Structure 1
Amino acid sequence: MCHWPAVVVATPAHSGVGDALSYRSERALAPGTLVRVPLGAREVLGIVWRNDDAPPEGLAEGQARDVAQVLDALPPLDAAWRDLVGFAARYYQRALGEVALAALPPPLRELDPSQLARRLKRPARAAPAAVDPDSARALTPEQAAALEALSAADTAPALLFGATGSGKTEVYLQGTARTLAADPSAQALILVPEINLTPQLEARFRARFGDEAVVCLHSGMTPAQRLAAWIAAHTGRARIVLGTRLAVFASLPGLRLVVVDEEHDPSYKSQDGARYSARDLAIYRGKLQNARVLLGSATPSLESWHASEQGRYRRLAMAARIGGGSLPRLRLVDMNHQPKGALIAPPLLAAMGERIARGEQCLVLINRRGYAPVLACHACGWKSGCPHCSAYRVFHKLDRTLRCHHCGFTQRVPRACPDCGNLDIEPVGRGTEQVEEQLAGLLADVKRPDGGPVRVARMDADTTKAKGSLEAQLAALHAGEVDVLVGTQMIAKGHDFRRITLVAAVQPDAALFAADHRAPERLFALLMQAGGRAGRDAAHSGAAELWVQTWNPEHPLFAHLRTHDFAAFASGELAEREAAGMPPFAHQALLRADARTQEAAQAFLNAAAAATQDLPHREAVTLFPAVPLTIQRVANVERAQLLVESPSRAALQRFLAAWQPVLLQCRGLPEARGLIRFAVDVDPLSL
């Protein structure tokens, strides 16, 4: 007897291939079973999604292709996981197989059944997650109240609105301990926004629950490590999975608790492939598997804050710092009154010297890596543009290179201007390398308590890309071997730096007047989070300060920052967004097009917009004209986008679903010749 499994394989949405392909099998295959199937001339990994009683209409039995291999050493992916993937594919307008296969560890795509069986020799029983009683801290009244609320019968998502240093991590740890103790098969998922936040959190979870109970899942792991961690989660051996946004798709049959730390962070929204929000999918997954969801942040996203105002999320507040420490005091430096060209204002420099002389540490935030954003010739106007992108190459002084941060194109710094031969080409603007270099010179006369010279270090994407470098730099900082740490936003959130008492933001003004409606929200969160690194040790909290160098000290954002009043800031921003009809009071999607020419990209978008007149719910959506992206060319590919907006999320979703086949037709139009790809970005974070 023949069986007809419908198998999903990795095909992008713009390929036009259906969600599932029909194959023939001599044996019945349970939904969720991993198989290898022929696809064209290749053999690829697939997932059995359902079993049909007969071949699809129009497919003769002799034309059907057989399932090649069955990877039945692994238990099938359960219905809840398949429902999550199915929802993500529908909501974010991607092919089902594209989302499903991207959620699996890459080595699975290459393994045959015998190879997989060798990887599964370890017994598939749950590891014990015994809590170390000596590592559990006594809870503050606010922590205890939050933990009790998390354990209450109400299963609505909870927003843990906790000030920096208020002990949110301890709530995560003890909430996880209660969840695992209540059910021997329960599992917990802990999400963090970036890889650099995993080491310290992983160390705390391993110390509390043991090494065997905890696994990590993030893109910084080797393929073999990701496969081993995924299998441990899928088979139930791992009780706790800690990872970045890709971990939201981990197979966790016993999931009972989901924690999303720093839930406001834009890193939870993928910007490649299926552009999903891990935070939003975590909430949906909690509903699917009857798991509690806890979102934690000192500066919640305005979407989550609005949901808690409406009562859709429970808000749990923790306003006090552990040990009774105070939040850092804001010191605004009006750069209009400082010496011309000053990198660090003299008052700030003096304050840093005082801290270092007392044995305390300082953190300097400048959200731009490299030595300078651009190299320029003032004789002829030449600038270090990238030949492949509509962006400038960044000057990196340490290796004397000009490097494009968009396409990666790198060249040695020219000895003279390529256009006019002028030898006097200069860096324009400042990056982390330049701030590090100049601070070392400005603080040369300051002495540490032991009489030694000041030690300045830098932490950004360039200094942490080598394996183990991030952990080594964090260890040096915690050990007191660094006096001043210069870095990008990666140092501004989540870290527990005990000796830092002064945080300085050098040039944050660019976000104050940006066209992006989310820019003020991001800047406020960044400054609040950065300031939260200061004074985390209660013994030093009274001296903790956040210094901000600004040309616009009267901006209302700083008034809320001075009082640490996120609620007032959020209220004002939400009122502005409601008046302007912006999210969360409206719902958006972007249709993006990449093409060989800007004309072809916009022609495709305009044709796609013109073909929507008869689509369902067309009257409920607004289509804006096609425009180039801010950086319109990357790696010689021209990029354009078209914004779609609606006051109704349901209407927008139905419209987008009906639009997909139209988009496939439009890509074949003569005027769109040169189109490379298109993609729909639902709930975009930047326009």
Structure 2
Amino acid sequence: MYFVEVAIKVPLPRAFDYKVDEQLAGLTAKLTPGMRILVPFGTQRKVGVVLAVKNDTQINADKIKTIIDVIDTAPVLSQSHIELLRFTARYYCYPLGETIHIALPNALRQGESPDKTSINMISLSEKGAKIPSLKSKLQLGLLKQLAESGKSSLTELKALGFSKATIDSLLKKEYINQTIEHDNQWQTNPLIVGEKPTLNKEQAVACTTINQSIGFKSFLLEGVTGSGKTEVYLQCLEEIIKKGKQALVLVPEIGLTPQTVNRFRRRFPNTPIMLWHSALTDNERLQTWRFCEKGSCAIVIGTRSSIFLPFLSLGMIVVDEEHDSSFKQQDTLRYHARDLAAYRAFQHQIPLILGTATPALETLHKAINNKYQLLSLTERAQTATDNQFVLLDMKGQPDQAGIAHASLATMRKHLALGKQVMVFLNRRGFAPTLICHECGWLSECSRCSTSATFHKGIGQMICHHCGDQHRVPHQCPDCGSTQIFPNGKGTEQIEEFLTNEFTDVPVTRIDRDSTRRKGSLEKALDEINQGGARILVGTQMLAKGHHFADVSLVLILDVDSGLYSCDFRATEHLAQLVTQVAGRAGRSGEPGQVLLQTHFPEHPLLQDLVNNGYQDFARYALTEREDADLPPITNMAIVRAQGQNIRQVVDFLTDLVPVAGVTGIQLLGPIPAPLEKVAGMYRFQLHIQAQDRKILHQYLAQMVDYLSTSKLALKVRWSLDVDPIDMI
């Protein structure tokens, strides 16, 4: 009789033993860890993953259930992949079965066959290679894209903003061909490398250092915006591909994928590049998973969950914009893809490149302590001189829609030269709230301890925390007055004002609201890159890695919102955001100008940032963290609890405090969350800190065991966040 240890998607921190029936004896010889099986669990049938095959068990054999069926003929998870997921579950204190479930593509979770390895490839036909004149700009754009990049997958073209209708139309006209590939033996083909620029001295040193490294080594590539970090990635990846190895490139958001794909495709036209992000279909995800596993793709460009992809021969991991908070999953399994990338690189004994202009203090701290090797790029590739920063004191300044008259005058100068101007405000909607001029009523969300945002374009009040939505009131609910006005500024209001102020200049707004429709972001970026005078208005979506050659002025509104916050990371995030946004200016060869509107121009953070740059600010911020005993100097976890009954929430967290019998642990709480009420649920937190990471995890393991038997834990919704990046 055989037994198998199985991971099942249940909220319990353990695996389960099952026995294998003699009728399946023909399969038991092949049954290995990593294979999926169908098992009974209570009254349900669940898909589980085999963790181990064994001859005995500590549980009474009469009480052990028999497996129903074996789904796979070969493992879908390798032994090293299982070890990665075990580490993830252990480190983030999350059930192993649910961790594996999150890592697998949806098709494999449902028990479907993994053998969907065909992929649709699109290429120019002889007729299309002549690039005919077409009325449709999208069709013409697709032909030019294929002429420049060569053969591309259907998934890749969709990511670049080309719809299925556009592709089908060109297929019908016989301008393009569609073929199906079941495998790609790219290692046997000579590598074709597109045109590449000559590296400057700092880039050359970085590439040589990385390429000559042996085994596991983590590199922090700290380069000012526009210093050519991507070029370093490309030239390092070229060496990896030449060896027949695979590479994973992590990007923070889907929005960065199209431009990254384009650049990589131009450099490696005959190298199979695949994508991984949330907008893919289940079949497309499964195709990427299987091509990675079989070694049929050389490079994967993906968002945070791509860290769980299987690779036949992984040779390098690159994390672009490593500081970005998008790499941290904020619900269910609260993992950080950057930190798991470090573990995975160690696992495979390969180099890890963490690239950014504004390193997270955690990463910088490791570089200063020689856990990571610091490689600096201080020269901008296009511009010999740095951007000019100006702090505009708003005290007593006349303004319109939050933009000072002095800022408007500066905008006119740049637009008159045919340049582009970026106006940055990290707040979407028309206004954060409505206010009654008669009685002072504010449009608060009925379910949250925050205001509902006014969205003028759709005539709705929307809570950005719980999603509650209702029509704009015509009268004040408290006093009946019709004197209700927007209070505060949002990107929608800025766009409306600038459209009326600059009637002869096109205004493009980029935020989550304006880019909801598929392909809308790509279309907006294409319009911007066509050049000429234009005003760009947007949130942090504009700050992340985009190259706008004609932007010469960046105006940052409401800088003060990040200076005073209950979150100790707020100043770090503000400095990163200001630096990243400022880096969009001056990328065409001439230094740009950056205006920061503030009521506190004398603030030490702003003075340090403007006069000395992010690098100096970050090192000073680390000394502040050390004085305050805050991460990354110490290690932190947060237990968050919420419920409709405030007493039960507080009692649950209070009950955890006596469990802290471990020395070296500091507790703060229960304390209300900064946003105390969301969607009708009261929210409280317990902060747990320790100098020693091992002691912290010993305490967390003890606490999770206690929670599994706690009756109070059944009355509230709770979560554990290890290495949190926000306090909300």
SS at structure 2 position matched to 1:171: helix
Counterpart position of 1:582? 630
How much does 1:213 deviate?
1.1
Which of 335, 338, 348 is equivalent to 1:279? 338
Q: Is the 8 A contact 2:191 2:271 kept in 1?
A: no
1:216–1:596 Cα change, 3 Å: same
Residue pairs, 1:490-501, within 5 angstroms = 490-501=541-552
DSSP-derived class of the 1:300 partner? coil
Deviations 1:602-621, CA, capped at 9 Å, x for gaps = 111111222343xxxx1110
1:51 corresponds to:
53
Matches within 5 A, 1:553-632: 553-613=601-661, 618-632=662-676
| Secondary structure at 2:553 match in 1 | strand
Match of residue 725 from structure 2: 685
State the 4+ residue runs in structure 1 displaced beyond 6 angstroms.
none
Task: Pick the aligned partner of 1:639 from 672, 683, 693.
Answer: 683
- 2:117·2:291 contact (CA, 8 Å) conserved in 1? no
Q: Is the 8 A contact 2:418 2:532 kept in 1?
A: no
- Equivalent positions of 1:123-202 (< 5 A) are 123-128=182-187, 131-153=191-213, 155-182=216-243, 184=244, 186-202=245-261
Q: Matches of 2:272 and 2:190 in 1, distance apart?
A: 9
- Residue of structure 2 equivalent to 1:10: 9
Change (3 A) 1:372 1:151: same
CA distance in 1, matches of 2:479, 2:280: 47
Structure 1 counterpart of 2:620, which letter?
Answer: G
Q: Is the aligned partner of 1:355 residue 2:437? A: no
Residue type matched to 1:334 in 2? D
**2:18 matches 1:22:** yes
* Per-residue Cα deviation, 1:277-328 (whole angstroms, up to 9, x for no partner): 1111101110001121000011111111111111111111110011443221
What is the match of residue 222 of structure 1? 281
Deviates further, 342-351 or 298-307: 342-351
In 1: Cα distance, 2:45 partner to 2:464 partner: 36
Deviation per residue, 1:19-58 (Å, 9 max, x gap): 3443425314111123333333333332211112124422
CA–CA distance in structure 1, aligned partners of residues 475 and 36 of structure 2:
59
User: Residue 513 of structure 1 aligns to a residue in which SS?
Assistant: coil
Q: Corresponding residue for 1:65?
A: 66
SS at match of 1:657: helix
Q: 1:59 to 1:223 in 2, by over 3 A?
A: same
Q: CA deviation at 1:86?
A: 0.8
Q: Per the alignment, do residues 21 and 560 of structure 1 end up closer, same or farther by CA in structure 2, a change over 3 Å counting? A: farther
1:33 is matched with which residue?
A: 35
Q: CA contact under 8 A between 1:23 and 1:67: conserved in structure 2?
A: no
Tell me how large the CA RMSD over aligned residues is: 1.9
TM-score, scaled to structure 1:
0.92
Give the AA of the match of 2:242. Answer: A
8 A contact 1:31–1:51 mirrored in 2: yes
- The equivalent residue for 1:447 is none
2:575 to 518, 521, 524: 524
Rounded to whole Å, the distance in 2 between the matches of 1:23 and 1:604 is 38
Shift of 1:547: 0.6
Contact 1:11/1:98 (8 A) holds in 2: yes
SS class of match (2:301): strand
What amino acid maps onto 2:94 in structure 1? R
Distance 1:101 1:201 in 2: 29
Q: Distance in 2 between matches of 1:124 and 1:443?
A: 54
Q: Structure 2: state its 5+ residue gaps.
A: 120-180
- Which residue does 1:652 correspond to in 2? 696
Mapped to 2, the partners of 1:79 and 1:385 lie a distance apart of: 52
Asked whether the equivalents of residues 325 and 536 of structure 1 are also in contact (C-alpha less than 8 Å), the reply is no
Query: Following superposition of structure 1 onto structure 2, how do residues 451-530 of structure 1 map, counting pairs within 5 Å?
Result: 453-480=504-531, 483-530=534-581
Secondary structure of the 1:279 match is helix
Q: Which residue of 2 aligns with 1:674?
A: 715
1:359 is displaced (CA, Å) by 1.2
- Whether the 8 Å contact between 1:132 and 1:207 is mirrored in structure 2 is no
What is the rounded CA distance, in whole Å, between the counterparts of 1:57 and 1:34 in structure 2?
22
Please tell me the residue identity of whatever aligns with 1:594.
Q
Closer, same or farther: CA 521–109 of 1 in aligned 2, 3 Å = same
Provide closer, same or farther for how the CA distance between residues 413 and 472 of structure 1 changes in structure 2, counting only shifts above 3 A: same
SS state at 1:198 partner: helix
Structure 1 pair 23–498 and aligned structure 2 pair: CA distance change class (3 A) = farther
1: CA distance, partners of 2:104 / 2:629:
38
Q: Distance in 2 between matches of 1:484 and 1:226?
A: 37
Give the secondary-structure state (helix, strand or coil) at the position aligned to 2:186.
Answer: coil
Q: How much does 1:348 deviate?
A: 1.4
CA contact (8 A) 2:401 2:497 kept: no
TM-score by length of 2: 0.87
- CA–CA distance in 2 between the matches of 1:628 and 1:98? 29
Q: Deviations over 1:427-455 (max 9, x none)?
A: 111110001111122223xxxxxxxx111
Once the two structures are superposed, the pairs formed by residues 389-428 of structure 1 within 5 Å of their partners are 389-428=448-487
The SS at the match of 1:179 is helix
Letter paired with 1:150: I
Secondary structure at 1:148's aligned position in 2? helix
Tell me the alpha carbon deviations over residues 182-211 of structure 1, each in whole angstroms, 9 at most, x when there is no partner.
2x2x11000111111111001111222237
Whether the 8 Å contact between 1:528 and 1:564 is mirrored in structure 2 is no
| 1:130 to 1:204, Cα distance in 2 relative to 1, 3 A | farther
* 1:369 matched residue in structure 2: 428
Worse-superposed segment, 462-471 or 565-574: 565-574
Aligned to 1:448: none
State which drifts further: 649-658 or 482-491: 482-491
> CA deviation digits over 1:382-420, x for unaligned, max 9?
221222222211100001100111121111111111222
Conserved in 2, the CA contact under 8 Å of 1:600 and 1:673?
no
Q: In structure 1, how many angstroms separate the alpha carbons of the residues matched to 2:435 and 2:217?
A: 55
Do 2:37 and 2:71's aligned partners in 1 also have CA atoms closer than 8 Å? yes
Residue correspondences, number: 658
Cα deviation digits, residues 502-528 of structure 1 (max 9, x gap): 111011111112121111111111111
Alignment partners' CA distance in 2, 1:612 and 1:323? 55
The AA in structure 2 aligned to 1:497 is F
Q: Distance in 1 between matches of 2:366 and 2:290?
A: 35
CA distance in 2, matches of 1:600, 1:631: 18
| Matching residue's letter, 1:52 | K
- Runs of 5+ consecutive residues of structure 1 not aligned to the other structure: 445-452
Task: Name the CA distance, whole Å, in 2 between partners of 1:649 and 1:633.
Answer: 31
User: Structure 1 pair 234/373, CA: closer, same or farther in 2 (3 Å)?
Assistant: same
Q: Give the 3-state SS of the residue equivalent to 1:31 in structure 2.
A: coil
